[in-house]
Amino acid sequence: MGRNGDFDVDRSVDRAMDLFWRRGYTGTSLQDLLDVLSIGSLSFYAAFGSKEQFYRRALERCSALQVEDLVKILEHAAEIRPAVRQVLVAMIEADRADPSRGSDAAGEAGGDGAGPSVAERAVAALCRVESALAGALDRAKSRGDLPPGKDPVELARFLATFVQGLRVVGRARLGRSFVEDALAVAMRALD
């Protein structure tokens, strides 16, 4: 990557994210990052500040991309049940595909006091998904696709909590049938 303006920060973050997921924050050296990005240390520090700031940016970008996709599904849902199931399955499958990926991301890099912590950003991303769920459930209720006694906000909070619980359980690799049984029960909350 040259100095003539062809340095794409987001693309660089995308290229290095997998390295963090595979090795973790502490297992990834600055030299590892420089090698993946094909840049020198001065360029790295000019673009990202520090390894920790780069790590935060990678987590933020990964979270933003995942959340954007889920929010789009919910915002354009013609039917609530298939859309909610699709979102829940997408969140679960991302963790099942690689249970170690980002599993300790919220706490691995310490805070430097500059801006929101990694954990705060993770909470913000979860809140965005919860809000999108609540909005989709509210629209479904208005269309009559959700029983009148159901509270969209309460359901959204339950579903967001459910997914977080499955993420924790998923690290134990309990298997597909366990996940499917739990998902079936969660979907009945919409009845």
pLDDT, tens digit (0-9, with 9 covering 90-100), for 59-117: 777 777 777 888 888 888 888 899 888 888 887 776 655 544 444 444 455 444 445 56
Answer whether 0.85 is exceeded by the pTM. Answer: no
Q: Kindly state the average pLDDT of the residues 123-145.
A: 87
Residue 152 within a domain: yes
The range of the structural domain enclosing residue 67 comes to: 53-188
Residue 5 within a domain: no
DSSP SS3 for 105? helix
Residue 113 within a domain: yes
Number of domain units in the chain: 1
Residue 9 within a domain: no
Residue 30, Cα to own-chain centre: how many angstroms?
Answer: 24
The CA distance from 60 to 160, in Å, is 19
Residue 7 within a domain: no
Residue 147 within a domain: yes
Residue 61 within a domain: yes
Q: Is the pLDDT of residue 141 over 90?
A: yes
pLDDT at 112: 47
pLDDT at 178: 83
Residue 31 within a domain: no
More confident of the two residues 174 and 159: 159
